[in-house]
Structure 1
Amino acid sequence: MTIGNGNGKAVKEKRSRKNKQVIVDEKSPLLPTKKGEEAGFEEFNGASFTGAVFNLSTTIVGAGIMALPATMKVLGLIPGIALIIFMAFLTNASIDLLIRFSRAGKSVSYGGAMDDAFGSVGRILLQVCVMVNNIGVLVVYMIIIGDVLSGTTSDGVHHAGVLQGWFGVHWWNGRFFVLLVTTLGVFAPLASLKRIDSLSYTSALSVALAVVFLVITAGITIFKLIAGSVMMPKLFPDIVDLTSAFNLFTVVPVLVTAYICHYNVHSIDNELEDSTQIKAVVRTSLILCSSVYVMTSIFGFLLFGDGTLDDVLANFDTNLGIPYSSLLNDAVRVSYAAHLMLVFPIVFFPLRLNLDGLLFPYKGPLVSDNLRFASITIGLIGVIFLGANFIPSIWDAFQFTGATAAVCIGFIFPSAITLGDRYGIATKRDKILCVFMIILAVFSNVVAVYSDALALFKKNGPTTE
């Protein structure tokens, strides 16, 4: 960790978890009273490097992976892979700046860093963005689960869900009823647990299920490649006019959302016995996750080509032309749907804390007030449930959250903190990078929103014969 000396310079020290906690309490008296900040790290007794990499990687890899093959359909394989890697480098740079200024300001959370740089307005703005981002992510989780179990319709073609394939079409395996049962039977009980430690076993199981999905998908693709039944994928985008050029920017919010993990970096850093390892943890996690993203994008796009859906899981409902195709299809879809069910409460925890911080900034701990805890939990789950039933696809949800909250959390806020340079530690290179990130984030997302709006108007506008 770092402690400021008399000259304002940072001195690195390695401490035991117990000593580290005492120092943090002494140097940051305001932070524990800020609602919505992860201040409960004293419960952890020194996480290992491997454990920290695992935790951060779990934060990064989520539902975003399902939309990445569709980005290859828009960009082409070569630009798509290049952009995935580029976004990993940009994410690493933004997290590095966030950590550096948090150290200088002795902040133990993202909210604390924003409060230090911009006051309570900055902290509240971050809390709102985390809420919008996490609600969007959880809505995506529910949409994918609905697509997998009850099916989805794209371009007039219905892709049957697992339950419909097993039992036929009935009212009880329709989308609304399946999501209702999943919400009441899985999400509500897990989200009602007051300690995130209680979810350690379900989290481990969720990671195992995600690995099952990746291994099966890769195996199917390799088998078909050897058999020569995979067509040459599109390597570059098809640009025929200005509209098609603007359409390329619609993938940016999806890629931004796929790498958002900034709101968990501080809590993982606080768990480390040696907090000087956090930068290596971030780099290792980004290398691991970008590798998974690249492989999933390649395998998914190779398998389905231009027929790749916004949610690639929905593609696994047809004969793949290999032995045991039906069994493998179901294994792929069920394993990842179950993975998302178990990850849901992990993302839900910071969402509930941030909402509590906004609504009740001067109340006591949320876990000590059963009525407040239950009310916020029920209200949030209800909003997410309604969103999953009315938002048509994960692409729409990703574009909304990615074009608003996610881009702020991932790039604009860390850049703004750096450009403010309250402690005079930003280099000229840092400031140039921050200006670049802000311009890229704003321009890309404005164009993405414009392209989406244009496509919506064309879809709903009058047709001419």
Structure 2
Amino acid sequence: MGAGALSLPSTMAQANVVPDMILFLFMAVIAAVACNACVATSEYTGKHSFESMAALLFGPSRQWFVRVLTLVLLFGIQAVFFVVSLDLLHPFVAAYVSRMILGAVIAAITIPLCLVETLYALRYTNAIVVGCMLYIFVVVGIRAAMVGVWPATVTDVTTTSAKGLMYALPIQALSFGCQINSVRIYGELKDKSKMTSVNACTMVLGFALYVAFSILGFICFQGFPPADILTGFASDDWLVNSVRLVLGSCVILKIPLIFQPFMQVLEAISLPSHVIEAGDTRSFRVVATVLSLVGAFVMAITFKDLSILMGFVGATGDILLNFGVPGMFRSAKVIHEPQGTFWTSVFALVGTMLGAGTLSLPSTMAQANVVPDVLLFLFMAAFNFVALHACSSVAEYTGKGSFESMGIALFGPWRQWFVRVLTLVLLFGIQAVFFVVSLDMLHPLVASYVSRFVLGAVLTALTIPLCLLETVYALRYTNAIIIASMLYIFAVVGVRAAMVGTWPTTVTDVTSTSAKGLMYALPIQALSFGCQINSVRIYSELKDKSQMTGINAWSMVFGFILYVFFTFAGFVCFQGFPPADILTGFSTDDWLVNSIRIVLGPCVLLKIPLIFQPYMQALEGLMFATSAPTSASISLDPPRENKLRVAMTVVSLVGSFIMAIAFKDLSVIMGFVGGIGDLSINFAVPGKSCHGTCDKLSGAIRALHDGNGGPHVQQVDEMGRHCLVYVRHRDGHFEFNWSAGLKQRLSPCTEDPVALKTMLLNHASCSL
């Protein structure tokens, strides 16, 4: 919190009221996710700065990438602080000193303050800074209350433009930026388990204060706030002048907050490693501090307009460092302990399930008729539960966490390729569906400024860094946003159906159906319920694996209820003739439906990371199967893996975007994906996996019964999870050796061969 708040009201003027608030929410969530990624990486590495974490996890090129970004961001923030201080204080002394002299004095005062090294030592100055910002908010609120009315010229609060959003995005990004210090705070925190709550509460407080301040500033200047809101008030306004005096003096207290990570990068670039390890950097710190602050002061004098400086810092440094680099850290952290809980797992399954398919569901009722469609919903929910249970059972048996690794463990080459191709078809189609939905929702709002193709290209570029997160648990907050967005759609369609108020008069027969109608509805409903591809990942991340059956059941119950309700509401809303994509049937000037487009348009991008990791596993298996035919996961050296992942991610997302542009009708893609990919992989593959599991267990039992010669070695349970190797001698004597997993399961058993054989057979029979 600081200088960025002074430019926030101008973002509302540029982007419009509702889009600006939605962008605030989006930035708060993304900032919280990035903070959690930084903390998880810090916990994993034991390091507490971006510089040290990058040195441990990255190669030279990515290390320098992080270093340059850090220097650009923090140097720009120093310049922003100088601009704010000069804007606040110079009007009081303009008759005595120039702006340059005042800036030089402030720069000199900041030098000794930058020698403090811990954030805990700055706790009192931090409280002063927060208090000053709250004082600004109160003063602007008082002035807005004195105006007392909403701007008369502002009647449309929903429409926006690409130019306005591009203006608002970097300013808001810099205003929410604190990730560089989240790692230091985690390192100094006594109870490190509280860090997730610290991040969440920080973002909630920031969101509430920033939205309130932006609205108040917007009202205060009747819809035309300046780039730096304080410059818009009269210089003889005593209440605002008190803000200038207080904040102008206190803003120098913010520079030490960001100077320590800035100095760490300068030391790493400028000094030999043995000098840094010895701690003999005092003289260098003094010289570097003076030169850095003087450079920031010169930049602040050159660019007096705060919005120009904020745009430069936000667009160049902050968006990449505070959002891109945490994703890089998270992708480099490859060891994950199971963290999933019951509700985070339910949210993950429902978040995977809800989405684009929902928009086509009302049209299935028009094609299949009412009662058959509801029965088909019930059948699909039950069938999906069986498939989910099959997936978790096979995951338990194999100890694997993806369809790709389970296929390698259970199947021969042909069936492995069958699973891979199905996975690629399904998930590639789903990516295209997400792009179609996002374009359908957002393009009407910006159609007069950019084409559908250009908007799709921008959305494609934005999804690339989001696909670096590896665990479903890391997406728990974005999953909650996805579910909330879909519930908002259901509520809006329900409101519109209530406004219609009557059952379609043309629909008198609700039971008869046709094969054509059922064939239309089946693939769309199959894709709408499909979440099996993530059920295996969710099971592997779950702390208490015994909860998985309940998770599967509750997810399907929620899905069935929500889908039937939404389908009925859409059917009534369009009097029995809903379009293939229900949102396209509403008027583009319907403000309530436009709010859906604004909310769900950005949020649908958050669904792509949910399905991109299993897609990437299948793609790697497809490309490198010959080099690693027996591995459960393809192993590449880190530089090669990183470059290939980036290249494959870009190519895949661009391909999905092209498919979305080529097929604008959502039902066409939904039918293709559901009919070809989803029905097979969400139902056939779990069945084949269960069959393969039974084959393995049956083979284990036969191995104990068969064979009269010897000596020979046989292995029970080829997965290695409950592995028993024994030698059967000619005299019938058994010599056993078992893995730690099997030994733990059979620990009550004596080493007597007969007793151990009986125990193993009983265990295998129970597993069957």
Equivalent-residue separation in structure 2 for 1:231 and 1:285 (angstroms): 35
Give the deviation of 1:398 after TM superposition: 1.4
1:111 corresponds to which residue?
A: 404
2:339 corresponds to which residue?
A: 46
1:163 corresponds to which residue?
A: 446
Equivalent-residue separation in structure 2 for 1:114 and 1:55 (angstroms): 23
Are 1:360 and 2:618 an aligned pair?
no
2:548 corresponds to which residue?
A: 278
Deviations 1:44-67 (CA, angstroms, capped at 9, x unpaired): 443221111111111111211111
Q: Which has the higher contact order (CA 8 A, sep 6+)?
A: 1
Deviations 1:292-323 (CA, angstroms, capped at 9, x unpaired): 1111111111101343111111112268xxxx
Are 1:404 and 2:665 an aligned pair?
no
Residue 205 and residue 332 in structure 1: after superposition, are their counterparts in 2 closer, same or farther (change >3 A)? same
Amino acid at match of 1:96: H
Contact 1:142 1:179 in 2 (8 A): yes
Residue 215 and residue 246 in structure 1: after superposition, are their counterparts in 2 closer, same or farther (change >3 A)? closer
Q: 2:431 aligns with which of 114, 120, 138?
A: 138
Q: 1:302 aligns with which of 555, 568, 572?
A: 572
2:348 corresponds to which residue?
A: 55
Residue 229 and residue 417 in structure 1: after superposition, are their counterparts in 2 closer, same or farther (change >3 A)? closer
Amino acid at match of 1:394: L
Report which stretch shifted further, 44-53 or 68-77.
44-53
Give the deviation of 1:229 after TM superposition: 8.2
Deviations 1:372-396 (CA, angstroms, capped at 9, x unpaired): 1211111101111110111131111
Gaps of 5+ in 1: 1-39, 151-160, 165-169, 320-325, 426-465
1:176 corresponds to which residue?
A: 453
Residue 383 and residue 148 in structure 1: after superposition, are their counterparts in 2 closer, same or farther (change >3 A)? same
1:207 corresponds to which residue?
A: 483
Q: 1:332 aligns with which of 596, 602, 607?
A: 596
- Report the TM-score when normalising by structure 2: 0.43
Give the deviation of 1:268 after TM superposition: 0.9
2:228 corresponds to which residue?
A: none
Residue 71 and residue 382 in structure 1: after superposition, are their counterparts in 2 closer, same or farther (change >3 A)? same
Are 1:342 and 2:606 an aligned pair?
yes
Residue 67 and residue 50 in structure 1: after superposition, are their counterparts in 2 closer, same or farther (change >3 A)? same
Deviations 1:167-222 (CA, angstroms, capped at 9, x unpaired): xxx3x4332122122222x2233235677766554443333322222222222223
- Report the 3-state secondary structure (helix = DSSP H, G, I; strand = E; otherwise coil) of the residue aligned with 1:173: coil
Equivalent-residue separation in structure 2 for 1:238 and 1:173 (angstroms): 46
Equivalent-residue separation in structure 1 for 2:356 and 2:637 (angstroms): 28
Give the deviation of 1:78 after TM superposition: 1.4
Residue 108 and residue 140 in structure 1: after superposition, are their counterparts in 2 closer, same or farther (change >3 A)? closer
Alignment of 1:226-237 (within 5 A): 228=502, 231=505, 233=507, 236=510
Amino acid at match of 2:492: I
Give the deviation of 1:119 after TM superposition: 2.5
Equivalent-residue separation in structure 1 for 2:476 and 2:392 (angstroms): 26
Give the deviation of 1:366 after TM superposition: 8.0
Equivalent-residue separation in structure 2 for 1:84 and 1:58 (angstroms): 18
Equivalent-residue separation in structure 1 for 2:581 and 2:508 (angstroms): 19
Give the deviation of 1:344 after TM superposition: 2.2
Report which stretch shifted further, 361-370 or 297-306.
361-370
Residue 405 and residue 366 in structure 1: after superposition, are their counterparts in 2 closer, same or farther (change >3 A)? farther
Are 1:387 and 2:659 an aligned pair?
yes
Equivalent-residue separation in structure 2 for 1:367 and 1:306 (angstroms): 55
Equivalent-residue separation in structure 2 for 1:248 and 1:290 (angstroms): 18
Equivalent-residue separation in structure 1 for 2:553 and 2:608 (angstroms): 25
Equivalent-residue separation in structure 1 for 2:337 and 2:497 (angstroms): 42
2:369 corresponds to which residue?
A: 76
1:154 corresponds to which residue?
A: none
Alignment of 1:32-43 (within 5 A): 43=336
Equivalent-residue separation in structure 2 for 1:235 and 1:163 (angstroms): 42
Residue 378 and residue 144 in structure 1: after superposition, are their counterparts in 2 closer, same or farther (change >3 A)? same
Amino acid at match of 2:619: L
Equivalent-residue separation in structure 1 for 2:348 and 2:335 (angstroms): 17
What RMSD, in angstroms, separates the aligned Cα atoms of the two structures? Answer: 2.9
Amino acid at match of 2:460: T
Contact 1:194 1:367 in 2 (8 A): no
Contact 1:356 1:366 in 2 (8 A): no
Equivalent-residue separation in structure 2 for 1:100 and 1:203 (angstroms): 24
1:153 corresponds to which residue?
A: none
1:27 corresponds to which residue?
A: none
- Report the 3-state secondary structure (helix = DSSP H, G, I; strand = E; otherwise coil) of the residue aligned with 1:43: coil
- Report the 3-state secondary structure (helix = DSSP H, G, I; strand = E; otherwise coil) of the residue aligned with 1:236: coil
Contact 1:366 1:372 in 2 (8 A): no
1:260 corresponds to which residue?
A: 530
Equivalent-residue separation in structure 1 for 2:334 and 2:358 (angstroms): 29
Give the deviation of 1:117 after TM superposition: 3.3
Amino acid at match of 1:270: S
Equivalent-residue separation in structure 2 for 1:366 and 1:340 (angstroms): 33
Amino acid at match of 1:163: V
Contact 1:108 1:266 in 2 (8 A): yes
- Report the 3-state secondary structure (helix = DSSP H, G, I; strand = E; otherwise coil) of the residue aligned with 2:574: helix
Give the deviation of 1:99 after TM superposition: 2.9
Residue 278 and residue 140 in structure 1: after superposition, are their counterparts in 2 closer, same or farther (change >3 A)? same
2:236 corresponds to which residue?
A: none
Are 1:250 and 2:533 an aligned pair?
no
Equivalent-residue separation in structure 2 for 1:349 and 1:267 (angstroms): 10
Give the deviation of 1:257 after TM superposition: 1.2
Q: 1:96 aligns with which of 371, 389, 394?
A: 389
Residue 336 and residue 305 in structure 1: after superposition, are their counterparts in 2 closer, same or farther (change >3 A)? farther
Deviations 1:382-419 (CA, angstroms, capped at 9, x unpaired): 11111011113111111112122211111112223444
Contact 1:260 1:406 in 2 (8 A): yes
Residue 201 and residue 284 in structure 1: after superposition, are their counterparts in 2 closer, same or farther (change >3 A)? closer
Equivalent-residue separation in structure 2 for 1:359 and 1:204 (angstroms): 34
